[in-house]
Structures are given as C-alpha cells and as structure tokens.
Structure 1
Amino acid sequence: MSLGQRLELRQGQGLVITPQLQQAIKLLQLSNLELEAVVEAELERNPLLQREDGDPLTDNDSGDTDSRESDTPSDHRELELSDQDSLRANTDLDASNTDLYGDDAPTLREAENHSADAGDGPMIDWSRAGKGGSFDGDDEGLESRHNREKSLSEHLTDQALIAGFTPPEMAIAQILIDEVDDGGYLRADLTEISERMGCSTDLIETVLTTCQGFEPTGVFARSVPECLKLQLIERNRFDPAMEALIDNLELLARRDLNGLKKLCGVDDEDLSDMISELKALTPRPGAAFGAEPSQTVVPDVFVRQDATGGWRVDLNTDTLPRVLVDQKYHARVSGSARSDNEKTYLSECLNQANWLIKSLDQRARTILKVSAEIVRQQDGFFVHGVESLRPLNLKTVADAIGMHESTVSRVTTNKYVSTPRGVFELKFFFTSSISSSDGTAAHSAESVRHKIKTLIDGEKMSGEILSDDRIVEILKEAGVDIARRTVAKYREALRIPSSVERKRLIK
C-alpha cells in the first residue's frame, strides 16, 4: 500500500450555529434577574443601545444629548411590550422563527440540539453580568451601612476586639471567625489552622474557649451536641443526666424514651422536663445575624380569570428590559468614522443591538406561548385545585405549539406564573403519570402526593394510623393503581415519618 498526498472535494450538510443564535438560545433559559444583568452588561458595552427612558449615552456633550432626546420615534428600533393585546395567549405566532433570524440563518428548532459553541465573532460577554465602569456601586454607602443589620462576622469581631486578646491571639481569633458558617458553627480543623498559623494547638484551643463565650451563646461550636452543651452551661443546667441525654440524641430522635431513662437515670417526669429544656435551646445560634434577605419571587406571567369564565394569560411587562437602538446617533457617528476598523466596530455594534432586541422580543413571545398552552392543558388545576392536576410532559406541550422539547424546557426553567391559587414555577405543572386501576384517565403524580398527604393529615380526626399498605388499598379504591414502594417514596418526599414513628409520636 502506497502513501501519498491527494486533494479531494466532498459535499455535505451541516449546522453552523452563529454566536447571535447562541445568544438567543441562552436568553430563553435566563430568569428575569439574570436577564436584567445581561442586558445591563450589553448596555455598557454597546454605545448604540440605551434604555427606553432616554438615559444619555457615552457622548457627554449637552448639545448632542439634547438632539438625541428630541429624536422622533421613527428614528429608533424599539422593543415595545406594553401592548397586551399583541401578547395575548391567542396571538398567532410563527413557531419556526424564520422571519426573526433571516432566511439564511438556522432556526431555533434546528439549533436546539447543537451543544457545541461554534464560531467566533461579536457576542455578548456572558461573564460580565454585573455593572462596571461606575463608582456608584463599588463601595457601600455610609447610610446603608448604618441602616442594615450587623452580620454575624461583624458581631463576633466586635466582641473579639474587647476580649483582651494579644496580637497573636487576635489573629487566631479572626481566623476562627472567618471559619464560622451562617449557623454559628466552626467548620475548620484546628490542626490545619495550627499548621497554617505556625502556632501550637493548645494556643488555638485557648482562643477558641474564649470565643465560645461570645454572644449568641453556642457560637463556635463544632457539633450540635457541643452547641447545646454551651447553652446549657450558660444556663447552669448541664448536669450528668443532661450530658447523657445530649450524648444520645439519636435515641431522642427515634423516641426511644425507655432507653433514655436508663442511660440518664431519671424517671418519666424528669425526662420530660429535660426534653422541654432542650426544645427551648437554639440549634443554630448564628441564624439571626446578618441573614441575607430572601428574594421575592417576581412572576413572569399572570393568569387571571376573564369575564367569560376562561383564563387570560398576560406577560409581566415590569420584568422585561426596555431597550432601543439610536439609529440617528449611529448615522452621525458612522459618518465621522475614518478607518475600516472603526466602521467595522460600528457595524458590529448595530447588528448586535438589533439582534438583542429581536431576541428579547422572541423570548417574551415564546414564554407567553408556552405558558398559554400549559394553562390550557392544566385548566382543571385552576378550577378545582391540585387534585385535578393532569399528567403532562414537555413533549405534549412542544407538539401542541410546534416547538422542540428543549425549547419548552429552557422556557420553563426559572420562570414563575402568578395564578389565583398562588405563584408556581412553570416546571410545577409537568408531572409524571400514574395509571388508573379502573381504566379511566391516568392520575398526576402531584395529585397522588396530595391525596397521600390528605389521608395522613386526617389521621388525627379518625384516630387510625394508616400504614403504607393501607394507603395503597385506599388509593386503589379511589382508582389509583400504585405500588407500596411508590407510596413510601412519596411519603418520604413529603417528609412524613412512617406509621410506626407516627404511632410513637402520638404515644
């Protein structure tokens, strides 16, 4: 066999996913907060983009700013989503999206399964999600610093400064404070700290003993028993019987009261008092300090009942970024561009700005279209509640609206809908099916879990503790064909103890 060089021509078909199409796909799965961060980063990078409220662009000349503010609406390409009529659930949308991305560009449906990052070119810098180029948010303001609650680390540092530590001890104390988690527990190995600081373990133990006397009582504990011990010592209630109880918390979790009475050497009344004292303690002493405020879920879609008895689906326009492209400013700047690099840069900025606005518009319409189909499929839930939740998967919704399953998956990720029954993630409405024992329609797994919880909650009224086998019998009588292990799995997912443990708790 001879070796040699030769030239061959081959023809084939392949999908090339452009950076702009990658951007459109990534925008689909972003939450409203992540989307705002991405748009903010693009506003700082692209001089041709600006918010709809008319924020000044990069040019600081007052005359230029005034001229841009006086432009007519025809001089801008704008994303306008305030018109609810154009974004109603019955809007006729083109599922192929070919008019959005051009005749020559691959559609979203074709590109959704393409996971490789193909091609180089102008693209949003996804790593720059925060604000930059401004000193407004770099440092915390004096007023906000005084108004906010003090963090646990700051609270412990203030106490360390007045604890009378020597400079070496203060350095060790600061290391220990840095290793305390939000619950107040010390998550560090003292031997490792000793090697890092070049000091003896005894010195670290001495500093730790002092720090364990800080407020709140129980901080710097290395385990739950140690945390409870510190609090009992502070209350002068740590005796041998209580020590035996703390050392055998696993028996308390299993409600093995007879075993605890033997180990502690107490009777029923004393053991009951000791357990009541433990319940009054705080297993997470640091949880009350510097807790990050919980983020309120902002719904992306509103579902309301209309006058005809149907359901109206509207986008929450407050969560949608409003950006526009200043075409007149681009024309004026491009007219003064001299080199080819400057012209190429302005052309890329214009293309990226137009594509971003198209992608935002398509994202909003896709969310609305998917949400409307979910509401149509799960109309029984909105009328009767969770027991009427139907089995639903991504393929059913995707086939109904002419999109790919991956698109529906991206759209429903981190997206929330506000309904008369509460705020739910769109993923909530996708549940697996459980077959029916009487040949009727299948049952939703979520509705079956709700039935199991309702049966167990009713034990207090009936006085009968239902075993998993008994729950299976009751559900089969109701037309749900389910196995005992499935009932046990759903019960554990609901954090409901077994029938044996529930009987023990009642006793």
Structure 2
Amino acid sequence: MAMSPKLEFRQSQSLVMTPQLMQAIKLLQFSNLELTAYVEAELERNPLLERASEEGMPESAERAEAGDSAGESGADKSGGESPDTGEWMASDMEPSRADMESRMDADLANVFPDDVPSGQMAPGGGAAGGSASSSYTEWSGGERGEDYNPEAFLAAETTLADHLEAQLSVAETDQTRRLIGLYLIGLIDETGYLTADLDKVAEQLSVSRAEVDDVLALIQTFEPSGVGARSLSECLALQLREKDRYDPAMQALVENLELLARHDRNALRRVCGVDAADIADMIQEIRRLDPKPGLVIGSGVVHPLVPDVYVRPGRDGTWLVELNSETLPRVLVNQSYHATVAKASLSAEEKSFLSECLQSASWLTRSLDQRARTILKVASEIVRQQDGFLLHGVRHLRPLNLRMVADAIGMHESTVSRVTSNKYISTPRGVVEMKFFFSSAISASGGGEAHSAEAVRHRIRTLIENESAEDVLSDDTLVQKLKADGIDIARRTVAKYRESMNIPSSVQRRREKLSQRNA
C-alpha cells in the first residue's frame, strides 16, 4: 500500500490555561496570609500598581498632594477627587474588558461569574423581602499601616498554635471535637496557658462541659509538655505525669506551691510526709520543669485564627454576612503614572513592558474584586443552608456538599471547593473553617429530613458519654436509640463512626468503667 502525504482541517474545542486564568484560580484558593504575600510581591514587581489608602486614593497621590508640587499634578488631583467612583481603576487610559479578553485570549466570565446581590437572608433558610437570593454587605479592602511587614508572613517559623493544630489533626478525627480543639487552641496564650472559662466555652459552642474537658485533656497530652494548663500547679503536674513522677508526695508539693515560695521546708516535709533529703530532691526536680512551656515553640505571640468572613445576627432576625476588610489587600492602577511614562520616547521593548504591566495590574484589581464577591456569595449560601448550626449548635448541622452550594449560586463545584479552601468564618459559635459545614447525609426514618453525618456523630458521642457502667450501650442499642430519634442508620455505620472517634467497643468500655469504679 502506497503512502502519500495528506492535509486535513479539524475543528475542536479545548480549554487553554493562560497565565491570567491560572493567576485568578490561585487567588481564589489563597488564604488571607498567602494573598497578602502575593499582592505585596506584585506591588514590588509592577510599577503601575499602588496600595490604596482608606480614602481610595493611591499613596503616591496622597504624597503628591501633601507636597509643594501638588498643584502641578492635575491628573493626580482629578483621580483623587472622587475615590468612590473608582476612577483610579477605570479611566479612559485603561484597556476595556473586551480589549483585555482579546489580548489575553481569556474570558473573564469563565473565571468568576458576575454576581448581582439582592434580598437578605433569613435564619429560617429563605430570603427576606421575598427574594430567593442571598445578599452581602458592601465591602472594601483594608488599609495596611506603615508598620505592616510582609516578611512576617513569609517567615517559616512555626507558632505554638500551628504546632498544636498539627498534633490535633492527627490525634482527633471527629470534626466536632476538632472544632472544639481549634477553639481551645486559639485561647491558649504564648506561654502555653489556657485562661478561658470552660463553662462559657461550652455554652458558646453548644456542647457539654464534659466534651470540652475531654478535648482539653487531649490537648494537654500534646508537646510541649504542660501546654493547655490553667494554672502553674496544673502545668507542673502535667509535666510530672509525663515523667511518671506524680506520686502522692509530689502531688502534695505541687498543690502547696505557696509553701515552696516561702521556702518553708519544714511545712513541706509535714505536708508531703517525707524527710529533709527527699524534700530537697523533690524541690530540685520541680526546678527542672518549665513553668512557661509554650515559649519553647516559636518566639512570636500566638494569634487566633483570622476569619475571612463575619456572620452576626441582624435586628430583623436575618443573618448579616460581610467580608473581613482587614484580610483584603486593596490595590489600584495608577493611570496618571502610566500616562506620564507613555508620553515619553520609549523603545519597542519598553512599550511592551509598560503594556504588560498595565494589563497585569488591571487584571489583578479585577480578580481581587471578583474573588471577594465570590467568597461572599459562597459564604452567604453556606450561612443560609446551615442556619440551624448558628442558632442551635453542632447537633443541628444539615447535610451539605459542594454541588448543593454550587447549584444554588450558579457556580461550578471546583470554584466552590477553591473558595472554601483555607477560609474561615466567624460565627456566634466561634471561628470555624468553611469546609466544616460540609457533611454527608444520613437518611431519616419515616421519610423526614436527612441528618448531617457530623450531627449523628455528635449524637453517638453524647449517648456514650452519658452511659453508666451497668448500662453500657452496644452498637445495636445505639442503632435503636438513634432510630427512636428519627435517624435511620445501619449498625456497621455506627461502628464506623464510633471507631473514627477513637471510642472503644462496649466490652472495652464496660471493663474500663468497672476498673475505674473499683480503683
């Protein structure tokens, strides 16, 4: 068979990931710290980008107005007179959206759909005023002060909170208990002590005090030894227990530190029931312990999680959802500087560089705006879906997945996934990660509304915590009690959830309870 050359034309569609599209996707999934570091790098690289002040005017324009030559810069003045109109971001000199899309071979609408806010959410799940869509509050980027240091975010030093959260993610698989743990870690100061009122913590999270105590006991087993203590005595006791040196005599010494502070060794000998040599050895052992264990991890102050979105109840019973402006670096395009440079005699290479800088700056400002709107829209839908959690606590979490949110707001699942990555919401129940609100569904008996898997886990743990040594609940009994509560669940699912929460079997629990009672 003879071989001959042949020319064919084929038409096909494919998605081309331009650098601008990749940048927009990266911006969407960045945390607030990563976003700040990225924008700071762009400000250093692109001469047409300016950090906006609180009045919406670039810092260079403010400096020009403050100097003697302010009257000579008519372009700067005209740009700063109406900061709310966005003249710095969109002027006659800036390329139009269609022009940008043509040059970059990219469609901005494919990255983030335009969102039109309307209505206001009601806690009941609907929208106030008859509108079916959720609303958001007007937002603006926060001003970074002169003391702002981007190197603080680029440093690789691990903080105490990071160290504890990493251990918590390994030691605890239950999402509810992990939420409690993250909340407690946020309350631990840089020295490693927890000074919060645990009753108030339990009330705010709508969980039992026993659950909070149990999670705190887990945190107190983490490194560094002694972390999570509520007093110096407890801190020393935790370290002594780890060394297996917390005998009755040492316990008496730790409980009477005021005598040690007064150097009253005679009283200490009587309290501890030991002789002078033993009390001297015990004191030396106490002195080798660390009274501030948190300081060994990092040297900076431990900060709690910074939320990206705030949720608070409104006066009319709705939920108000707004962005945290402090996490939104605001940048503008300095059209005046571009116009001045463009008038100069430039080479072809310089003109190309200037055009690239203008396009990149315009794209970044638009991407940051769309990023904020997209985060707010996703957060608003999550709040609408999970209003039961905000009102009544963890037990009232509803089944929710990415597709449900994506379909409700007209976005793709991948967009919702990126939005919820590394983002946190400040709610009346504490600061929680957006992904916490997503949970699989457990069918309801009688055809009722399905239950969240996290709510079912919480119910299983509550039932087991309230059992007695004489009435330890087997997995079959748990199934019956859950079905009585309207939760249709299989025995193997109960066993899987129990094992994921590191809860032993009913036989092991009965042995442990009997041994503790007989001890």
Structure-2 residue corresponding to 1:20: 20
Cα distance in 2 between the residues matched to 1:14 and 1:406: 18
1:419-438 → structure 2 map (5 Å cutoff): 419-438=427-446
| AA partner of residue 391 (structure 1) | P
Amino acid at match of 1:368: L
Alignment-derived partner of residue 413 in structure 2:
405
Change (3 A) 1:389 1:111: closer
Q: TM-score, normalised by structure 1?
A: 0.59
Structure 2 match to 1:38: 38
Instruction: Write out per-residue CA displacement over residues 82-115 of structure 1, whole angstroms, 9 at most, x where no aligned residue.
Output: xxxxxxxxxxxxxxxx989748733565799xxx
Amino acid at match of 2:428: P
Partner Cα separation in structure 2 for residue 72 and residue 65 of structure 1? 8
Distance (Å, rounded) in 1 between the aligned partners of 2:360 and 2:472: 64
Q: 1:76/1:417 Cα in 2 relative to 1: closer, same or farther (>3 Å)?
A: farther
Q: What is the DSSP-based 3-state SS (H/G/I as helix, E as strand, rest coil) of the residue aligned with 1:312?
A: strand
Query: Given residue 105 of structure 1, which amino acid in structure 2 is its aligned partner?
Result: A
Shift of the alpha carbon at 1:319?
0.8
Residue of structure 2 equivalent to 1:377: 385
Cα 1:111/1:32, change in 2 over 3 Å: closer
Residues 69-468 of structure 1 mapped to structure 2, 5 A cutoff: 71-72=76-77, 74=79, 102=101, 105-107=106-108, 109=110, 228=243, 288-292=294-298, 294-459=302-467, 464-468=471-475
Contact 2:51 2:330 in 1 (8 A): yes
Residues in 2 aligned to 1:79 and 1:491: alpha-carbon distance in whole angstroms: 55
Question: For 1:366-391, what per-residue CA distance to the aligned partner results, in whole angstroms no more than 9, with x for missing partners?
Answer: 01111111111122222222222111
Work out the CA distance in 2 between the residues paired with 1:290 and 1:378: 40
Q: Is the 8 A contact 1:325 1:353 kept in 2?
A: yes
Give the letter aligned to residue 21 of structure 1: L
Q: Which residue of 1 aligns with 2:47?
A: 47
Contact 2:24–2:111 (8 Å) recurs in 1 = no
Which residue is equivalent to 2:507? 500
Aligned counterpart, 1:3: 3
- Give the counterpart letter for 1:469 in structure 2: D
Between the aligned partners of 1:69 and 1:317, the Cα distance in structure 2 is 31
Q: How many residues align?
A: 353
Letter in 1 for 2:378: V
Aligned-partner Cα distance in 2 for 1:471–1:382: 27
Larger Cα-atom Rg: 1
Contact 1:79–1:323 (8 Å) recurs in 2: no
Work out whether residues 77 and 327 of structure 1, in 8 Å CA contact, stay in contact via their aligned partners in 2: no
One-letter code aligned to 1:15 = L
Q: Which amino acid aligns with 1:310?
A: T
Q: 1:497 offset after TM fit, Å?
A: 3.1
Instruction: Judge conservation of contact 1:415–1:425 (CA < 8 Å) in 2.
Output: yes
Could you list the runs of 5+ residues in structure 1 that have no partner in the other structure?
Answer: 82-97, 113-129, 141-148, 151-181, 185-215, 220-224, 237-276
Distance 2:85 2:33 in 1: 19
Is contact 1:412–1:427 with CA below 8 Å preserved after alignment? yes
Q: Is contact 1:100–1:358 with CA below 8 Å preserved after alignment? A: no
CA contact (8 A) 2:311 2:321 kept: yes
Tell me the residue number matched to 1:262: none
SS of 2:405's equivalent?
helix
Distance 1:330 1:101 in 2: 17
Aligned-CA RMSD value = 4.7
Tell me how far 1:25 sits from its aligned partner.
1.2
Q: Which amino acid aligns with 2:296?
A: G
CA-to-aligned-CA distance 1:31-90 (integer Å, 9 cap, x gap): 101100100110110111121134459x99x88899779923636998999xxxxxxxxx
Instruction: Determine the structure 2 residue equivalent to 1:482.
Output: 489
The letter for the 2-side match of 1:290 is V
Contact 2:28 2:371 (8 Å CA) reproduced: yes
2:477 maps to which residue?
470
